[in-house]
Structure 1
C-alpha cells in the first residue's frame, strides 16, 4: 500500500510529491516532510507517513524532527551573520574571543579552522556521559583545555558533535547569548519558524520518534567488527563522545530521542525543526523571504569559499565532503543543485540547503535513519533541478 502524501505544490512542481511518495516504498513506519521555496515563494510543502511507529501516529503538518547535523548549517549562518555585522573575523585566532582556548597548543587556531573541521578537536579524549553533554560549561571547558588530536591546520576531520560547542561558545562569547537564544532572536522568531536549538518543553509533543533503519544498523555492526581491538576509533568517538550516544545516534529512548538531549543546546546535531522552517531559513540566506534577508551576497560569497576537502585525517571511504566556513559545499558526497549551493545534511537522510543562483531554500526530513547509498533526498533534488531547467529558472 502506498503512503499518502499530504500538502500542496505550486503549478509545475507536482512531480516533487510523486518523488517524495516513492521514497516511502519498502520503508514501513517511515515519516518524512519536504519543503521547497524558490525566489521566496513556497513551491512545495509536503509530508506523510508515520511520526511515531510505537503508536502509529501520523506525520502531520505540525510534526517536527531532530535535524542532526543540519544544525551545523544553522550555527554557521549565525557565525556568518556575526561576520557580516563586523563582530567576528574568520581569520582571527579563536582565543581573541575565547581566551581559555589557547591552552594546549591551540593559540594559532583561527575561527575558520574551527568552522572548517581543521581544529584537531573532532572528538574528546575523555569519555563523556549524557550528564556531561547537557552541561554546556562541562563540554566547552573540556574542549578549551584539550590538546588537539592532530596538528591544527595540517588536515581536517569531521567534528560530528564537537563542532557545535566550539562554534557555539564563540557565538556565546561574542553576543553574550547562548547559541539557542541568539538563533531564536535572529532567525526563528523573525521568520515565524518552528525551529529550536534547545527544545522548549511545550513543543515536545510535536517531535517525531527516530528509528535506525536496517542499513544503518548493518553499517554500524560492520564498522564495529572491523575496529582494531584496544585502539581508539576517533571517528566513532566523534559520534558517541565516549558514553553519551550510541553510534547510530538513536536507540529506543536513548540518544537523540532522549528528552534531556532535545531540551539541551547541542548545536552540532540537536536542532529540532519542521521542513517548512528549515526551507524558509535557508531561503532567507539568499533572497528576502517573509520580509527577512539574513545574509548579504558578499557575506555568502566569503562563507562558502572552500576551506577543507579531500581525504580526512582519520581516513574513511570516499566520496568526501567539502567545507566552507562551517557550510557543507557541493561534492560527490552531497551534490545539491549546483556549484552555488551551500547547506548541511544530517545523519540518517536529512538535507537542508540554499542555492544562490536559483534562489532556492530546500529541506527534507525523515525519522527513519538510513546509511550508505540513501537516495531519498537526492532523488528529490534531482527532480527539482529538472523542473527548474524545464521552467527556464536555470
Structure 2
C-alpha cells in the first residue's frame, strides 16, 4: 500500500510534529506534508494550542499546487469546530486527491469522523503508515483520551549503589551539569511536574523549566501533594505564584494565607493519603497529557507499586553514597525473585560523566505482590 516516497514524507511529518513538543499541550503534536510524488509542495506542524493546525500551515505553503496532491498527516485531521475550523474541511476545500494518516484520533469529537468526511468527499484515505511512531510521539495525549489518565514519567537520579541522597536528605548534586540540563528538556515536554510535601520541605525546589534564551515552551503545571496543608513554608518557591501551581490536599484542611498565590484542590483521603489514581483522573480532566514526577522514595514507590508509572527516566552518576543513603524507591518487601519488577531498557545515553536510562515496566509487572 505504501511506497518509499510515502515512508519518506511521513517520516518528515513526524519530525515536524516533534518541533511542537514543548508548546502544543493539551493538544497533540502533529505534522503535515503536502507532496506530489517525490516533490514536497508544503509542510507544517501544530505550533501552539489555539493556533492553526499542521494541515493549515502545509496548505498555505503549497497553495494551488495542493490540488490533486497527497497530504501526509501524523494524526487524523480534526472534523469539529474547536478553537480552529476543521482540518478535514480544509483538505477537502484544497482539492487534495489522497490523504495518508499515521494514527487515528481517539478524541470523541474526531474519532473516525475526519476520515469519514474525507472519504465522503471522494478523497482516497490510507491509514496506519508509521502508526506506532505517531502514537509514541503523542503517548501522553493517547493515554489521557484512551485510559483517562496522563502518561506518567518518573524522574530519578541515583549513585552507582542505588542511593538518591545522603542519610540526612542532602542530594544536591548527585549528577553533573549535562544531566541536569537534560532534565530541563524533559520537564519542558511535560504538562505537569509532580512532587510531594516531603521533597518540597527538604529541597525547596522551584520545579520550573530553565532552558536557553529563545527556546519556546509552555510552563508545566506544578502539582504538590500536601495532605494536611502544613508542609510548605511561607516564602518557599512552590508558593511564589511564578507559574501555575496546584496544591492537592485532603478535604477539610484549612487553606493557610501563605497559599494564596496557588490553587488548592481538596480530595477525600484514603488511609490518610491522597488517592493517586483519583489524582491522575483529576489532572486528565484538566487536559494534562504527560506528568513528570520528581519526588522522594516514598511517593516514587507508591506510584510504581500502584502500577501508575509508565516510564522511568533514570540518571546514574559514577559515585557511591553508602548504604545509609536514601533508596531509589520504597517498594513492598519481596520474598521471592519471581515477584521482582522487570523493566525494559529503551535507551541509554551518556551525558558528561553520567548515564541516562529510559526504561518502561513490562506489562503486568508493576502491581505489588
TM-score, with normalisation over the residues of structure 1?
0.22
Query: Greater RCO between the two (CA within 8 Å, min separation 6)?
Result: 1
TM-score, with normalisation over the residues of structure 2?
0.23
- Structure having the higher strand fraction is 2
User: Which has more radius of gyration?
Assistant: 2
- Structure having the higher helix fraction is 1
